[in-house]
Chains A and B, each alone.
Chain A
């Protein structure tokens, strides 16, 4: 009955309650949009890198990740392949030769990562093949090369143009090859577009004089969340001559940033909650002062302070719950629309692309933060009623009954 009484008390002054519920609702919508945007921002920063190049899990010879020397080959390619094929959690994998070198055109040159790939396998691992804006993704034969748009601008080359790639061979000599540009890609990361070039794996192996050796296996699992499980499973089957890394290991700073962001959301919740709390205090104080006489009667008929206190807190909590529920529904609806359409931040495209995010951000809500908002905002709303409730129980029954 206390709940019924509290609920009905809220609607005694519909306009005032609707204003407070509206303010809670706006706060919750703002939190959902902020969370969606921030989370989308960080997720895009992380997953663009994962999808463009990193993949979910990588296997190298131990030490290759920190020191990419050309002679650090995968010790037993066949053995690794066998292990990968029998793991049901792995969707695709691709062999890579990775080298750091120089690419030159007639007018300019630039330091780049040269990736020797099998395009058919690699197209299942990364999104580069889908990011071609000119020409095509190569077929993996001959001296074809795919480069980024930023690099093409820097080298002042276009489709059909020739570039020379140079890189160290294991014996210390320089390997070189002339390539014809068959495709130019544009990814969400301007840095990636400037520093990565893709050539057929056989051509790069020949250029570096490394036979059939490779440096890396790039693996895509059934979903992102399986990356660490798959890493651990592969690790168990390989000796310590190998290093097996998930994208968490390769991009630790971004993962830390995402974890830190979750903590930040608590603070943002608190700030919005604090902004709301003053409105709640004001509204609940008015509600208490309007009912001084009635509170006096409740005291006279034997309602204890604890129950009166709870009733006022409950009224505020109900306002918070109603506002939060509506806010979550509207916020989720808006988030759903924005997550499909994306929010165009072309005005800031330069800086966003340098962060590897892309000019369009697709909001992405985290369930954890949504639950935090759902629990925290009604709780904060309830806290806002503590002072008015305290004022109520400090009333003297005789004075309260006579209060006009």
Chain B
């Protein structure tokens, strides 16, 4: 089932007044449950594409459809609501809220959805147990290792059962053992919960595990398999 489609997406930045084509005629179709990696060298447009798919940025031209609805014309508030309900994010630098504990970080997006405290606590605890990170519940980000923080970030991304999880270079700040553990976790979630994962990465072990790989070069898809 197709959940995401892009049609002739272009993104042009202005760098000191000079136009720079970051993405050119991107046409993509992504189905539910995919485990997709967007790879390519630095400056190829991976993060730009991920930001567009995450509705954090808008294309200069072209359209992006989620479940056949055009999201390029939505306003800020609608996009915010969409991200809250349908998307999960995993960032390179983990980006947990430093003043909240791991449990509270996971609860946070449920709080934004207005889920009652008791229910969200229960759901967060169950998910932490499932991911094997329940011992981190009361720890704040500065009390956790990078790998632990990124696992909590994954829990935060999937706790609202999103349509898609977008992970921008999730293993870039981790050593290979921790990176591998994290990827195991995301693969497990993809297989068991049928959550769609879209990665941007140039990490070899991420690319090797891709079930679908898209290679970008100079803002264009040059290879897909």
Instruction: Indicate whether B77 reaches chain A with its CB closer than 8 angstroms.
Output: yes
Instruction: Indicate whether A14 reaches chain B with its CB closer than 8 angstroms.
Output: no
| Chain B: interface size category | 20 to 34
Contact partner of B97 among A5, A11, A304, CB < 8 A? A5
Q: Say whether B109 contacts A12, CB under 8 Å.
A: no
Instruction: Indicate whether A211 reaches chain B with its CB closer than 8 angstroms.
Output: no
Determine the chain B residues whose CB is within 8 A of the CB of A304 once the complex forms: 77, 80-81, 84, 112
Instruction: Provide the bound-state CA to CA distance between A301 and B94, in Å.
Output: 13
Determine the chain B residues whose CB is within 8 A of the CB of A298 once the complex forms: 97
Q: Say whether B95 contacts A1, CB under 8 Å.
A: no
Within B125-184, which residues are at the interface with A (CB < 8 Å)?
156
Instruction: Indicate whether B91 reaches chain A with its CB closer than 8 angstroms.
Output: yes
Name the CB-closest residue of A to B57. A398
Instruction: Provide the bound-state CA to CA distance between A396 and B83, in Å.
Output: 15
Q: Say whether A301 contacts B83, CB under 8 Å.
A: yes
Q: Say whether B109 contacts A302, CB under 8 Å.
A: yes
Q: Say whether A299 contacts B80, CB under 8 Å.
A: yes
Q: Say whether B98 contacts A12, CB under 8 Å.
A: yes
Determine the chain A residues whose CB is within 8 A of the CB of B57 once the complex forms: 396-398
| Most chain A beta-carbon contacts within 10 A, residue among B56, B76, B100, B107 | B56
B101-116 CB mask vs A (1 if < 8 Å, else 0) is 0001001110110000
Instruction: Indicate whether B197 reaches chain A with its CB closer than 8 angstroms.
Output: no
Instruction: Provide the bound-state CA to CA distance between A303 and B83, in Å.
Output: 9
With A300-B89, A301-B156 as contacts: A5 and B81 at CB distance below 8 Å: no
Determine the chain B residues whose CB is within 8 A of the CB of A396 once the complex forms: 57
Contact partner of A1 among B56, B81, B108, CB < 8 A? B108
Instruction: Indicate whether B85 reaches chain A with its CB closer than 8 angstroms.
Output: yes
Determine the chain A residues whose CB is within 8 A of the CB of B109 once the complex forms: 301-302
Instruction: Indicate whether B54 reaches chain A with its CB closer than 8 angstroms.
Output: yes
Listed in ascending order, the chain B residues whose CB lies under 8 Å from chain A are 51, 54, 56-57, 76-77, 80-85, 87-89, 91, 95, 97-100, 104, 107-109, 111-112, 117, 156
Give the 5 A-B CB pairs with smallest separation, nearest first. A302-B84, A8-B99, A297-B95, A302-B83, A1-B111
